[in-house]
Amino acid sequence: MKKQRKYLKDLIPVKVNKLVLYDGSFEFQFDGNTLSLVPETYGKWCFLAVFINNQRQPMQWELSARPHVGRLANGAVIGYRYDQVYYVVSGSRRYRHLFIDPETMTIGVRTDFFPDHNRAYPRGKEREGNGISREQVKAQYEELFGEKDEFMREFKKREKLSRFGL
């Protein structure tokens, strides 16, 4: 039987900003154990610590905050307690969510579960392995579907230049 592919929607999301500002902690029950995510502060540094059955685990994530700016409808103001937006730092990037895999009980950010998701379809660069570049494709297109009439070809070229103000 073929293994079912895992998607981001199959994981349990934990919203970091909501956890830090509103809830204070996140708990998840699995196999008779309790997994807890709790924000902690050490001087200037903030971390999101992992507890299993109230025992701290060595896994933690650094929290990053940025000011919550903007205008609210009807002249409302952002409360002093909620004037920061919190993110989890992994590598050199900030993420809004942590994800829990209910099957393997692993915790991580999106790129921990799907590392090459954003690089699956490279854009703008020549793709290796297919043996043909964009310039070759353009030349083939011009050869097959290019303008046959010399006058129309020159007209379109000048029209394009004038459209861009060159």
Q: Give the start-to-end residue ranges of the domains of the chain.
A: 8-113, 134-163
What's the whole-model pTM score? 0.65
Q: Looking at residue 23, what DSSP letter applies?
A: I
Q: What is the pLDDT of residues 86-138, one digit of tens each?
A: 999 998 899 999 999 988 888 999 888 887 765 544 555 545 556 677 888 87
Who's near 107: CB < 8 A, 6+ residues apart? 35, 37, 50, 59, 98, 99, 100, 101
Instruction: Give the highest mean pLDDT range of 100-104, 142-146, 147-151.
Output: 100-104
- Structural tokens at position 14: 């934990």
